[in-house]
């Protein structure tokens, strides 16, 4: 597999990896670094890439593991996640600002436990089937449904709470 073929293979799901990484790491810069690192790892192991049933699912699992490791090492070294990139970096935020409460939803998603965040991202943003998510995360479908339900409810409750208090 040469450079071109590899790029053709990963480009279709590159943005998905980035969004997942950003959901976990929050900072856009760090998410980009993570994706770059995962792609390098995939490139080095490209000989085996054909043997995976779905290179995309494999890449998502790698990204998730890599980001969780990053998070862990960061907590271990007592560094705080820097949120500076969050407000300004993407055109997305600007686009979305107009619609009320959406930014609040993003903030709420950030406050969820990592596993719930990952599952919410894979299901409600990327629209993967439960079966696929189950393989990516190596968890059974029931556990995923439960975590997803908790995540969705948490978002709802936080949203209602914030509305009722009239914050923002």
Partner 1 sequence: MESSEIEKILNAYFEGNTTLEEEATLRDYFNNHRVADYLLQYKPIFIGLEAAKEEQSNRTFQVPESEIPTSHKPWRYAVAVALIVAMGVGVFYNSNTGMTPEEKEALVAFENSKKAMLFLSEKLNKGAEQLSYVDEFTTAKDMVFGKE
Shorter beta-carbon distance to partner 1: residue 28 or 71: 28
Q: What are the structure tokens assigned to 74, written together?
A: 């960061």
Residues 64-70: contacts with CB within 8 Å, 24+ apart? Answer: 64/20, 64/24, 64/118, 64/136, 64/137, 66/21, 66/34, 66/37, 66/38, 66/41, 67/20, 67/21, 67/24, 67/25, 67/31, 67/34, 68/24, 68/114, 70/25, 70/30, 70/34
| 114 interacts with partner 1 by CB under 8 A | no
Q: Segment near partner 1 (CB under 8 A), from 6-14, 62-70, 73-81, 110-118?
A: 6-14
Shorter beta-carbon distance to partner 1: residue 75 or 140: 140
Q: Which residues bind partner 1 (CB under 8 A)?
A: 1-3, 6-7, 10, 14-15, 18-19, 22, 28, 31-32, 35-36, 39-40, 43, 90, 92, 95-96, 99-102, 104-106, 109, 121, 123-127, 129, 145-146, 148-149, 152-153, 155-156, 159-160, 163
């Amino acid at each position: 597999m040469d450079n071109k073929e590899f790029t053709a293979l990963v480009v279709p799901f590159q943005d998905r990896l980035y969004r997942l990484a950003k959901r976990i790491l929050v900072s856009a810069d760090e998410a980009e670094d993570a994706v770059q690192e995962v792609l390098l790892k995939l490139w080095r192991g490209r000989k085996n890439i054909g043997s995976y049933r779905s290179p995309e699912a494999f890449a998502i699992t790698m990204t998730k593991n890599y980001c969780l490791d990053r998070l862990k090492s960061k907590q271990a070294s007592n560094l705080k996640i820097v949120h500076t990139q969050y407000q300004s970096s993407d055109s997305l935020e600007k686009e979305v600002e107009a619609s009320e409460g959406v930014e609040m939803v993003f903030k709420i998603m950030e406050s969820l436990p990592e596993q719930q965040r990952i599952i919410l991202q894979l299901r409600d943003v990327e629209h993967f089937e439960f079966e696929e998510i189950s393989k990516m995360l190596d968890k059974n479908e029931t556990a995923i449904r439960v975590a997803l339900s908790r995540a969705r409810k948490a978002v709802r409750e936080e949203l209602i709470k914030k509305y009722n208090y009239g914050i923002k």
